[in-house]
Chain A
Amino acid sequence: MKVLYFAWIRERIGKPEEDVELPASIVTVGDLMDWLKKRGEEYAYAFDNPKAVRAAIDKVHVQPAAKIAHAREIAFFPPMTGG
């Protein structure tokens, strides 16, 4: 599955996207954030404050409780500041 990062989350992790093999125990977007956090200091820093992180599954906004199921791509980003 593809995971994408934007804005300061991308900068903290040091890459815009990556392919990951998820363990079967990961069911929700929140589970995925907890799992990513344990991958290294840069991830722990990026997901330091989970409340400041927004997520999208296949380009649609979702809450942390959303099930990943058969998602093709999951994106993490800060609250939006466009317009």
Chain B
Amino acid sequence: MSVRITEAPIDVAAETAALSRGCSDAGALVTFTGICRGEEEGAPIAALVLEHYPEMAEDEIKRHVEEAKKRWPLSSVRIAHRVGRIAPGETIVFVAAASAHRQAAFAAAEFLMDYLKTRAPFWKKVERADGTHWVAARKTDDAAAARWKKPGREAAE
């Protein structure tokens, strides 16, 4: 497992290669790449600025990786999250899950992304030509994360 928070650009091909090198038992590798859009709410943006709570962000992601490993038979997981100023088209987050079969890899990657969005302490600020504003949390992201809650218990609390 590798969890990394970085100010440097994320090289998706290198991340993917690093993960597949380490797990010869995997028959499936699912990767997700989150990219900085060039517009928000119909208007162009100059950049996103990502702030985070350093130690907690890493701990929180690792806790969810452990949870994912309990739920699915995973060979390996690799996550890289960018912080600082990110230009449109650049990668914000990379999540990869490898498993013997595809179902576990797909499910784990989606689970990790849904939780990352709502539980990992990162905050996005939009930079435009005429000013900046903080991105508001989306109810649809909360709903996506809630799907993974197990009955009768608070997920990842």
Contact residues of A with B, CB < 8 Å?
Answer: 4, 6-8, 56, 59-61, 75, 77-83
Q: How large is the interface on B (under 10, 10 to 19, 20 to 34, 35 or more residues)?
A: 20 to 34
Asked if A59 and B123 make an inter-chain contact with CB atoms under 8 angstroms apart, the answer reads no
Interface secondary structure of B, over-half rule = mixed
Asked if B93 and A77 make an inter-chain contact with CB atoms under 8 angstroms apart, the answer reads no
Q: What is the distance, in angstroms, from B53's C-beta to the closest C-beta of chain A? A: 6
Task: Indicate which residue in A7, A8, A56, A81 contacts B56 across the interface (CB closer than 8 Å).
Answer: A56
What are 13 A-B residue pairs whose CB atoms fall within 8 Å in the complex?
A4-B53, A6-B51, A7-B134, A56-B53, A56-B56, A59-B53, A59-B56, A77-B53, A80-B120, A82-B52, A82-B122, A82-B123, A83-B117
Task: Indicate which residue in B34, B122, B157 contacts A80 across the interface (CB closer than 8 Å).
Answer: B122
Task: Indicate which residue in B51, B55, B116, B125 contacts A83 across the interface (CB closer than 8 Å).
Answer: B116
Q: Which residues of A contact B146 (CB under 8 A)?
A: none
> Is B88 among interface residues, defined by CB-CB distance under 8 A?
no
Asked if A83 and B123 make an inter-chain contact with CB atoms under 8 angstroms apart, the answer reads no
Asked if A81 and B157 make an inter-chain contact with CB atoms under 8 angstroms apart, the answer reads no
